[in-house]
Each structure stands twice: as structure tokens, then as C-alpha cells.
Structure 1
Amino acid sequence: MRFKYDELSQAPLIVNSIYEGGSKGNPAADDPLTKLFKVEGYLKSVGNRSGFRKSMKENNGKSTKEVAYVVIFSTGKVKEWPDFYDKAQGVFTYYGDNRAPGNHYLNTKQRGNILLKEVFEKAASNSPAIRKTIPPMFVFESTGVASNVEFLGIAVPGIKGKHIDESLELITVAEEGDQFQNYRATLTMIDIEHQGISRKWLAQLKDFNGNPNNYAPKEWINYVENGIKYVQPLDGNSREVILPEETFISPSEKQYLRKTRVTQGKFRERLLKHNQTCKICGMDIIKLLVASHIKPWSFSNDTERTDFYNGILLCPAHDAAFDNGLISFNRDGSIIISPLLNKENQKLLNLNSDLKIELEPNHLKYLEWHRHKVYIRDK
């Protein structure tokens, strides 16, 4: 997706999405990250300079010394410090913020290397309580067009199968006779929900008294509770960016969008031939029925995208609840209702724990994916 500059203060963080900068011609004023991370109800955002930007927690309208989260911004163009994202493996290599010969590697303006050192020390702990104090790191890369940036995902320190001490290396670089040191950090990009990161989570992180697990991505909670060994890395290649039609798109992108619409139209037709009512409530206004993918389109391969058994016909309200993980279904077709959906809203949606839908065996593998990757189990 693509978000324009004036939309950023309300925009969710969606992997591979583009966030446009301003048009004033002033790099500081046009910086999209400052606006994107200005959380409603809190005074300060992240800075508009450097590749390592911290946002501090706030207490009663005042900044504290505790880090809420970090934004890592890479241009990908500094030869001496070649930050690199391996999308297939979900591994991001980031070089620290000491870029000046003769300067001690921990003595940097943004104190980024000090924070990296602290974060990796906490990651080495076996205590979930200590990992809970690790600030999330949101990684962005320049698109090369104006001030626009692309969101790559959330990074956690270390990678599976490698000791945490080996994931933060102190390297020495020689430049014109001077030697200086810097960190090379290896980070894992975690697999977050396709609908992206809620701004409510950013607010919880900013609040000195907030709960950093409230509204957090499920894989972030998994990391906090179980450590890097059990984390599911993000496959960045599986996330496709589909731009709104009103933005400029190239001929190849137009061809892709045209193919997408045709494929989804045929998919809906197949579902309608089998049944013409909402699977949950029985609503039979055909124009309103949504052909919902159980395993979302963005995560499915070409075969799965057109597979009849990866589909379920729903009315708009139940489609939205299903797509956002507020409901799912067990193998026997019985409904599972997320704790985020209170009794009042369950009643408005005509949902109850006795509800059960008919399923066929080929539906089950897709529903298992939905239960583990989309359905929200915790508040």
C-alpha cells in the first residue's frame, strides 16, 4: 500500500508499504518518519535526522529516560556501512551509528551503539520479564524517490541457531590512516499480521505506565515470552505491495492489478456457484457478499489464491471480523471468538459460542493457518 504525507499521522504500519514524504523541499520538514511516529496524545515523535532514531516513553506529558521504540532508517547506499536485508531469510544486517574516525564507538550523538549493546545484552537473558523491556525496532529503507520510505518490518536482536554474542560484532575499519570501530548487528525481522501494526500499540509503548504487550503483534509477544529460538521470521518476498489506483503506477504494475481483479472475480464466481448466502448469518444479498480468502491473498501462492477451499462467502460485517482476526473456526466448524470482541459487539454481530458452520476436509489446512496467523487470542 501507499500512504500520502497527509495520511501518515493515522496510518498503520504495514510491511512493504510506502510512506510518502512532504513536498516543501526541506528534507527536515518533509521527513515522513517524524509524522508517522507522532502518536496522538503524546508530545514527541522520533527525530528527523540520522539512521537510528529513538522515541522516549512519556509520563504525564513529560519525556522520560526510558526508550519506547526505535526507528532504524537505512538508505542502503553507504558503501562503508552496507546495511543489507535478506528478504528470503528475514534477516537484516545493520551497522551501528559510529561513522566518525577517531571517535569511540560508544560515544555517538544518538547513543545508538549504547542502545544496541543494551538490547543484545537483554536478548541474551532467559527471562521474559527482561525481554519485555527490549524496545521494538521498526526498520525503514529509502525508496530512492524524494523522501519516500518503505517499511520493512519489526526487528528483534539475533537469529536462530547463532549465539546472541555472535550477532553483535565489533568491527574495525581503516579510513585514511585512521582506525575506528563500529557494531555490525544481525537482526531478525518477525512475521507480523498482514493487516499491520495498530497505532494503539505505539500509544501503549509511549505510555510510561502502558502495557507493551497490549495490541502488540502476536509474533512480538511470542518473542518476548519464548525468545529468538521460537520466532517465525518474516518472508519479505511474500508481501506484495498493491498501490491505490489513484496513484501513478507503471505499465507492469497496471498489468498486475488487472490480473489481480480478474483472478479475484473468478474466485468469487466459483464460491457463488456453490452457495449464495453468508456462511455465518445467511444474508443472501449477492451484491454485498464478500469472497473472503481464509489464508489471505498476500500470503497465498498462485494455486492457493484460486483454490475454492481457501474461500468463504461472508457478509461485509462478518468478513471484516474474520479478516481482522476477531473470529475464526475450529476443525469441526465451531466458531472461536476473540477476547477483543466484547459481549455487546458479539450480540450486534449476532455471534455466539454455539455457532457452527459446515466445512469440508480441504478447508482445514487453510483454517489452521488462519487460527495461528490471523486470529487474535489475547487482548
Structure 2
Amino acid sequence: MNKKLAHPMMPQANHDELARQNFAYSLRKYMSTKMLPELKVVYEETVKPQFERENQRPPKDRYEIRRGMQQQQYYKWLSSFKRTIQEMMWESVATTVERQLPELIKQAKDRVAPQGTLKLDPELKIPVYQTAVDIHCMPGGYNGEYTQDDISAGAIYDLGVYIYGMRNRDSIRDVRGQTVIHKFLKQQYPSFQPRKILDMGCTVGANTLPYVDAYPNAEVYGIDLAPAILRYAHARAESLGKRVHFSQQNAEKTNFPDESFDLVVSHIFLHEIPVPAIRNVFRESYRLLAPGGIMIHQDARLYRHLDLYTAFLYDEETTNNNEPFWSAMRDLDLVAVAREAGFSTDKLIDTLLEQDNGRQSFIIVGTK
């Protein structure tokens, strides 16, 4: 990774901090490009043949694959290595944020004439599913808050995901929002001009901001549970000259009136919440949509899109990376969930989109 930054709110690493971050980046890249292909060889040449000899059939699901793989030393070592890299990644960026935290907080507050708004709710009850676990091993999870006007959770997340996604930090990191807009909305609904847009579970707003440019006449809103994340998201958007209205709300039940939005979206949000919460989010999406409005929830591919071995690899996020709801979400029939929320079957689409980085992204779309 280089030192050129995507926006002014990005924490600036010094020489030693950047060296540690680049080391974590390099280890993750080595694991992805060298070790994971070798793991598949272990499966194809050892685990799968042994399972077929013992059971007279191939494995039927990811659980049977895992039971066989757990007996292999290479798999054990790689799993430990992957977890260590994840923890090392967060530690390497947290040092940078902690060193600059007073300056970052001051920078976030120094807005003479802000374009957007920020509303926090100190009375909002954070669901236990977001506080019981440090999600994806990030210290304190999304909801860590340690000082007045804290923005550290947002800054740590924003800097850490550059290592996790193996990207240079000069990238604005908005590929998911751009994909939904330009690979789907602009193609399927070219005349669609929403007046109000809501991004649920927006975190630092990376994928919220493309909607500001794509629909310049729309009011764009972003909601999340975490105050430190939202303070950072607001400052990040302002530093990039984007007008977004951020507020601290639970996407399961917001304070917006019925039929408030023409477009309700989310990006890699559903896998961070349990199944009952997903059902509530879909019901809330339906309630918030104006007639003719569109709901789009984007996430990584569901297990039904994957071969069994790839599903086993995805499952590692739940078994080994503090993503407790990752696998349950990927087993869901989200079309059925949307129907239960009120959407008509003939107005529902679930499909895959090709992102600019070559990866595929899943979306569930409902129109009202």
C-alpha cells in the first residue's frame, strides 16, 4: 500500500506504522494468492478422495467438508494464520488512529458550514447482537466508544478495510455502491429519479456517497447504530464535499414516516445481523418505500450460488473470524423474506452483478 490517501479524514500512518500495515497487507495477499490454492489441492487430492472411499459418495454439504479438513494440519495452520493476520491488521491501524485521535476529533468537528447533517441518539438501545461480539475481530466492534466525540471506530474501520480488501488507500472504496447504481439501477431503471434515498447500515458511508453524484437532486440519508462510526462518516463525507444526512438509528425500526423514500439500499449489511433482524429490516424497507419505490440490498453471494468447497471457505468467516451471522444469512431465501415483508413476487428480483474488481455481488430487489 502507498501513503496517498483517499480523503482528508483518513488517518496518516508514519513510517513504522505504514511498515506494519504493509506487512499485514502482504501476509494477507500471500495467504490469498499462495496458501488458499494449496488448501484446495489438499481437499481435492486427500480429503475428498478419503471421504468418498469411506462413504461411497462425495460430500453433500460444507459441514462434511469441514469435518474432513479439520483433520489436516495444513488447514489447521492456515486457519490459525488467517485469524492472526486479522488481529494483526486491526492492531496495526489502531496504533495510527490512537496516535492522531485528538487531531482527528478536532478535524471532524471543525466544520464552519457543513453541507449535510448528523443526528445522534444517546437513548438508542444498541442490540445485544452488535455488542456481544467484536465483529470481524475489530476491537470494540462497530460500537466501541472511548472518549468524548469519539470517531476512532470509524477511522479504524476505514483504514483497516483497505488491508482486508487488499486495496491501495488512495481508493475511495465505493465499488459496491457504484456497482448497484451503474450495473443495475441506471441500466434497469434509466428514467428513475429518486427524491429521497436511504442507505441502511451505512458504516463510514463509503458506498453511500456514490448516490450523491448519481442522483444530484435527491436527498441522501445514511443510518447506523454506532455513534463513533457516524461521526467519522459525517466528517468523511464533508471532507469530500458530499451532502449526506446521517442519523443514529436501528434499521429494524426507524423514526422516518411511512413512504418516506423512493430508494432504500444497503451494502454488505445483511450479513452483520441475525435472521430475525433481517426480516425486520425487510419489513421496514417496505414501510419506508413510497409507491413505485425500489429496495435493493446488496451482499456477497449466497451459498446457493457457490460450489460446496467455496461455501466451506466462505463459512470460515463464521467459524473463525467473529462473523456470527454470515452463514445464516447466506442460507436464507431472501425472496421469501421479501414476500413476507409485503413485496409481490412479480416485483422481486434476485441476481448477481459483476463488480469492476471482477468479483460478483448479490442483490435482492423489490419494487412497491
Which structure exhibits the higher relative contact order, with contacts defined as CA atoms closer than 8 Å and separated by 6 or more residues? 2
State the TM-score, normalized to the length of structure 1.
0.25
Higher Cα Rg: structure 1 or 2? 1
State the TM-score, normalized to the length of structure 2.
0.25
Comparing both structures, which one devotes a greater share of its residues to strand?
A: 1
